[in-house]
Amino acid sequence: MNENKRLRDVFKEYRLHYKLTQEVVEQLAKLKKNQYSRIESGKQTPTPQEIENIANVYGLHNFQIMNPKQRKPSIKKLPLETQKAILDIEKAGTKPKREHKKIDLGKEIDKLIDDGKLNNPITAKKLLEFLPVAVREDINNESMRITDLLCRSPRNKRVKIVDKPEGEQGAGNWYQLLECINTK
């Protein structure tokens, strides 16, 4: 197992042991938004300072957190900020996710295309309503994410921006499946 993978596993093990969320560890370690998530998932390699900051969340130094014989500190021995965060999470009833299921928005949009949702002109905002709730939450109900994917390859070869249909309301671009435009 390479060093980076082992480090990620240790970070995750500690986080789950204390029932902390990635967001809370990120705040306690004073990392940028989503940085801890990228580190834990392997999308980003942490700097020595970031490793130290994350270890400090648990009252340890980087060489201690990497030692497999190191015992996890009791909650009372954790830094006060970490203790408070654990209490706040317990009070709120929040549970850390073991695995974050990655939602493939492109596949979800392709399903909408296959289901005929783009046979007639439609806005990205209206397409958003057809997506499963979990997908909408994952993209923070931002129709702009749909717009971005519709305008990129391979979807931009199948879907085109069309004029707003007469009598329709709504700002923004209207999209339609190219093969349905040509048949009218």
Q: Residue 127 and residue 141: Cα distance in Å, rounded? A: 11
pLDDT tier at 100, thresholds 50, 70, 90 = low
The answer to whether 175 touches 122, Cβ cutoff 8 Å, is yes
Average pLDDT, the chain: 88
Q: Residue 144 and residue 90: Cα distance in Å, rounded? A: 35
Encoding tokens for residue 70? Answer: 């190191």
- Look at residues 116, 3, 129, 151 and name the one whose alpha carbon lies nearest to residue 66: 3
**pLDDT of residue 1 exceeding 70:** no
Which neighbouring-strand residues pair with 175?
122, 161
**pLDDT of residue 184 exceeding 80:** no
Report pLDDT digits (tens) over 106-129.
Answer: 999 999 999 999 999 999 999 999
DSSP annotation of 59: T
**pLDDT of residue 101 exceeding 70:** no
Report pLDDT digits (tens) over 127-175.
Answer: 999 998 878 877 878 889 999 999 999 999 999 999 988 888 877 899 9
